[in-house]
Structure 1
Amino acid sequence: MVADAIIVGAGACGLMCAVQAGYLGKKVLLLEKNKQPGAKILISGGGRCNYTNLFTTAEQFISANPHFIKYALGRWTVEDTISFFELNGIPGAEKTLGQLFPANGNAKDVVRLFTRLCADFGQEIRCGAEVKDIRPLEQGFEVEYEKDGRLDTVSSPKVVIASGGLPIPKMGASDFALRWGRKQALKIVETAPALVPLTITGKDESWYAQLSGNSVFASVGNERIDFEENVLFTHWGLSGPAVLQISSYWRRGETISLNLLPGKDIVPLLEQERKSNGGTLLAAFLQRFVTRRFSEALGKFLPLSKTVAALTKEEINRVYDTIHRFTVKPAGDKGYDKAEVMRGGIDTNELWPKTLACRKIPGLYFGGECVDVTGWLGGYNFQWAWASGFLIAQDL
């Protein structure tokens, strides 16, 4: 037995688990497929790493069991995350919507912190080691992995699977947790890309393409939820924070609705303009709220060359629907190459919520992205990673 536990994956959850185990005097071995630990940490937040969110509650997470995460968030809170980083020389700074970033550093500093603490505790991180199989023994587990073209095995009383999910294959994304879970007859909640741009094809494709590069603050929603943030038009569809957020709640074949003027009502504004300057062209009126290119594109739906005073009641209603209820039917999404996280994963009913131990396989744990817990954009998924890593470490 090489250690008290073997951790599969040296991402956010695996690294936090190793460090917290170190505080408790436990020795672990991390097996990481990539050539360096924390690959997704390094690209998060544009390389700045939005490592938590001040507004974190269970409401910002998607799961077949929405109550599952509550215990973990209560045991390792946002305050715990802030204190952990501050005590280790990384104070936080809030940017927007509760997102905390390193005040004087970036994602590299976050990874360096974890690797330094692992070294201080004597935790070994073995990189370039791709786990091929985990075999339960009478006591503990045998883990088979490949490194430098050679197969090797290590044994341990406990194993933590924190191997992440399917997004960003070029960053070493792995389906190991899902494949191995299915082999063990564990239930898997259907997976799909989440926090991902949406694509538009067919007859509307060219209309969106002409707006490529335009960004507009909007409310984007469906019958389940809506988000107010920027929407970015691209040559293939829609992106930007609001679209990434709604993508986690969108299902193929559904529509989403854009309110291009949230918090306002375009009709009273039109009436006010009609009284004060009825000769204003509708095109010029709309350019007070959106870019010229965007207002010109709306000519497909609206009579831009008419004056405000000349608009009929039907046309005013059409202006309202276009501005406040702009309906979009995405063809699909950009897939795991562009997704930030994976929706679905190991069914939470397979795990004990207080330890994240597998109910059917004693000594085995699942944490982080491979579990059916998916957070919103903006640091929430990191908070789940830290919390799940902490929780598992307490039981090793």
Structure 2
Amino acid sequence: MVANLINTSQFDAIIIGGGACGLMCAVQAGFLGKRVLVLEKNDKVGAKILISGGGRCNYTNLYASPQQFVSANPHFCKSAFAQWTVDDTVSFFETYGIIGKEKTLGQLFPESDKARDIVNVFTNLCADMGQEIWCDTEVKSIENNGDDFTITFERQGKTSTTKTPKVVIASGGLPIAKMGATDFGLRTARSFGMEIVSTAPALVPLTITGKDQPWYEQLSGNSIFCRVWNDRASFEENILFTHWGLSGPAILQISSYWRPGESIMIDLLPHQNIIEVIEQERKLNGKKPLLALIANLFTRKFADALSSRLPADKNLASLNKAELESLNELIHQFKVKPAGDKGYDKAEVMRGGVSTDELSSRTLESKKIPGLFFGGECVDVTGWLGGYNFQWAWASGYVIAQYL
């Protein structure tokens, strides 16, 4: 089939991907008097924005800084965050009617609780500034011609090509396939000889299999505030027991720092010392059964589950030193060795991506291919749960727009 040649010479750049990074890039380019064309594979832009935060969109985090990001080069994101700050994000959305309300741990949501309002800011601005968006458009390939790029894409059943001086890859990562996520950004980078940092699901539930699985299954639905850690990171938030393993904010957070075959540790009572609690209770009622004490600290169902690993029927006064040490380890150093994770369909983001060694930290332009830019999730910059990844998307979109 001969491809149609589409004239897009009126555009300064073509942005591939109409998600958070691509939309911010289009709007910021418009503010600078540059015209861009956004090519989006889905039938509408902002698909991931619309489902984030349960459809409410946690669009930034008030405490976002480079410290909350995972990357082979933890310093890489500093330049982008200096150019576009959290205050810039808050001010930008306030200018267009989005008033933020803070929830847990600095997470900022629209006062309306509607992710659609976030997307509307971008689509309205793009319309006002003449930035064009083509949905249902799948880019098949990008070729570098030296002075410009040839993009081959499929739209409305027709294959077409066009030329552009600059290309922005803002096509996201591998989660979530049913929303159109693909490895396009990674494939494109590889085709130009760029290095890729190994990718994996991140902010993802962890699975338990084998002999331990029934123990977790019986607790499905139970949520407990804990400290979860390994030798790379530590988080204090809720964990959620499920029939297949562990989820909840603290587990999603530590998953970005977990590698297959490793264990994670859980402090089930992070703000108390179980031995001190027992000593105090002993003075009041030494005949109190250990199980009764545990049931006061946790849900009854969780206490019953723990009882299989404890001298639960003994009263507090009769616990010996070895039993106390064992109890202390169980409560404060509960060891879990996950079998794996729930994969990209359940992951919030992708870890890894286009190596930051390949990009200018100031402009996000490829060092090897002038005019080719990468931003958002396809780059090896992965934020914590709670609005951090959106802050990276906005910042990277803004930065790229300055250099188109």
Structure 2 length-normalised TM: 0.97
Cα deviation digits, residues 117-162 of structure 1 (max 9, x gap): 0101101110010110011124211111112222111221100000
Give the Cα separation in 1 of the matches to 2:280 and 2:100.
46
Instruction: Tell me what 1:99 maps to.
Output: 107
3-state SS of 2:104 partner: coil
Aligned amino acid, residue 116 of structure 1:
N
The reply on whether 1:180 has 2:222 as its aligned counterpart is no
Contact 1:347 1:372 in 2 (8 A): yes
- 1:34 and 2:12 are equivalent in the alignment: no
**Mapping for residues 144-163 of structure 1, pairs under 5 Å:** 144-163=152-171
Matched, 1:317 2:336: no
Counterpart CA distance in 1 for 2:319 and 2:343 is 43
Structure-2 separation of matches of 1:282 and 1:167:
45
- The residue identity in structure 2 corresponding to 1:166 is L
Contact 1:52-1:379 within 8 A present in 2 as well: yes
1:246 to 219, 240, 254: 254
Aligned partners of 2:240, 2:162: CA distance in 1, in Å?
48
| 3-state SS, counterpart of residue 297 of structure 2 | coil
Matched, 1:261 2:261: no
Q: 2:294 aligns with which of 286, 303, 317?
A: 286
Residue correspondence of structure 1 range 327-366 to structure 2 within 5 A: 327-366=335-374
**1:45-56 equivalence runs, <5 A:** 45-56=53-64
> Does the residue aligned with 2:109 lie in a helix, a strand or coil?
strand
Distance 1:104 1:316 in 2: 50
Count of residues in Structure 1 that have an aligned counterpart in Structure 2: 396
Equivalent position of 1:141 in the other structure: 149
Q: Alignment identity in percent?
A: 64
Whole-Å separation in 2 of the counterparts to 1:62 and 1:2 = 38
Distance 2:146 2:295 in 1: 72
Structure 2 contact 14–166 (Cα < 8 Å) conserved? yes
Residue 2 of structure 1: how far off its partner (Å): 4.2
1:63-102 equivalences under 5 Å are 63-102=71-110
Distance apart, 1:183 and its partner CA: 1.5
Q: What is the SS of the residue equivalent to 2:171?
A: coil
Q: Which amino acid aligns with 1:60?
A: Q
Aligned-pair CA distance for 1:275: 1.5
Q: Contact between 1:32 and 1:130, CA under 8 Å: does it hold in 2? A: yes
Deviates more, 1:97-106 or 1:373-382: 97-106
Q: Following the alignment from structure 1 to structure 2, what is the Cα–Cα distance between the partners of residues 51 and 191?
A: 24
Contact 2:57 2:113 in 1 (8 A): no
Q: Which moved more, 1:96-105 or 1:376-385?
A: 96-105
For residues 10 and 342 of structure 2, what CA distance do their matches in structure 1 show?
42
Q: Does 1:221 align with 2:229?
A: yes
CA distance, structure 2, for counterparts of residue 380 and residue 140 of structure 1: 34
2:119 pairs with 1:111: yes
* Aligned twin of 1:385: 393
Q: How far apart are the structure 2 equivalents of 1:321 and 1:235?
A: 24
Which residue number corresponds to residue 132 of structure 2?
124
- Provide runs of 4+ in structure 1 moved above 3 Å: none
Amino acid at match of 1:181: A
Distance across 2 between alignment mates of 1:138 and 1:98:
45
SS at match of 1:288: helix
SS at match of 1:382: helix
- Residue number in structure 1 paired with 2:316: 308
Gaps of 5+ in 1: none
Moved more, 28-37 or 99-108: 99-108
Q: Aligned to 1:262, what secondary structure does the other structure show?
A: coil
Secondary structure at the aligned position of 1:110 is classed as helix
Between the aligned partners of 2:146 and 2:69, the Cα distance in structure 1 is: 37
TM-score, normalised via structure 1 length: 0.99
Contact preservation (8 Å) 1:341, 1:374: yes
Quote the Cα distance in structure 1 between the aligned partners of 2:279 and 2:99.
51
The answer to whether the 8 Å contact 2:287/2:315 transfers is yes
Deviations 1:278-316 (A, max 9, x none): 111111101111100000000221011111111111111
1:328 partner amino acid: V
For the structure 1 residues 208 and 105, does the alpha-carbon distance in structure 2 shift closer, same or farther, using more than 3 Å as the test?
closer
In structure 2, distance between residues paired with 1:39 and 1:217: 31
Closer/same/farther in 2, CA of residues 184 and 89 from structure 1, 3 Å limit: same
